[in-house]
Amino acid sequence: MTEEKVEGFYPIEILIAKKPEIIKRIMLPKNRTDDRASNIINLAENAGISIELSQSVKQNPIAFVAQQKEMGLGELKKYIQKKNNLTLLIIDNISDPRNLGACIRSAVVAEVDGIIVNKHQCSSVTSTVRKVSCGATEIAEIFHVSNLINCIKYLNEQAIYVYGTSEHSKNELFKENLAQSLAFVIGSEGKGIRSKTLEACNKILNINANKIFNSLNVSVASGVLLFEAARQKNQQNA
């Protein structure tokens, strides 16, 4: 099985805490003798993970991990059956690994239940995605599906309402009742969500009613959607 790289102090700290069994070894800059480097060494040694001090690694540590099998629609179906009042993020059309990593980070901070990635229209979870997510990829439940339209149909069958997002919609996010099982679909900053995906959604929402300038970075938009849903659900449960 091939190796993948995870780079950065925080992502590797999360990885050691959550999935130490998949780490094969960690390479640490030889010239780093600060507290952060010492902490990584202690964490790795306590977890029985091999540490190598290297001159070729200049600034941030690198963990080499065993490639993990992607979870797909089958695993998603089993996961959904165990949950109530779900909040899901569906990523339809984001090929930039930095944007994908940022969206995953926003979703994990907002305590989303799961992330569904359109396998053939999005970046895979690369080392760049892992780095930008700051360890969120090691926490998130991420499912890669080949047929997003069929996936949305299945979500509807499970009483999960699916919202698309578009700046052209007249339906405002903050006027919507989001205290239910739901999924938000987001797309790339340039092209947005694909038209067929939009057609499959139950309703299209506009995040920002600003008529002069309403363009948001996709990860920021994800955060706005997910935190508003979390706010309404928490308010209902209070």
Q: Residues spanned by CATH 3.30.1330.30 within the chain?
A: 3-66
Closest to 142 in 3D by CA, of 157, 123, 159: 123
Q: What is the C-alpha separation between 204 and 186, in angstroms, rounded? A: 11
Q: Which residue has the tokens 């998130």?
A: 140
Helix/strand number for the chain, H first, E second: 8, 10
> Are 63 and 12 spatial neighbours (Cβ–Cβ below 8 Å)?
yes
pLDDT in tens, the chain (238 residues): 567 889 999 999 999 999 999 999 999 998 888 999 999 999 999 999 999 999 888 888 999 998 888 999 999 999 999 989 999 999 998 999 999 999 999 999 999 999 999 998 899 898 899 989 988 999 999 999 999 999 999 999 999 999 999 888 889 999 999 999 999 999 887 788 999 999 999 999 998 765 555 567 889 999 999 999 999 999 888 6
| Predicted pLDDT at 212 | 53
| Predicted pLDDT at 93 | 86
For residue 10, the surrounding DSSP H or E stretch is helix 9-18
| Predicted pLDDT at 209 | 62
Q: What is the C-alpha separation between 124 and 71, in angstroms, rounded? A: 12
Residues 6+ apart with CB under 8 A from 187: 92, 93, 94, 165, 193, 194, 197, 218
> CATH for 3-66, among 3.30.1330.30, 3.40.50.720, 2.60.40.180, 3.40.630.30?
3.30.1330.30
| Predicted pLDDT at 35 | 93
Write the CATH number of the domain with boundaries 73-237: 3.40.1280.10
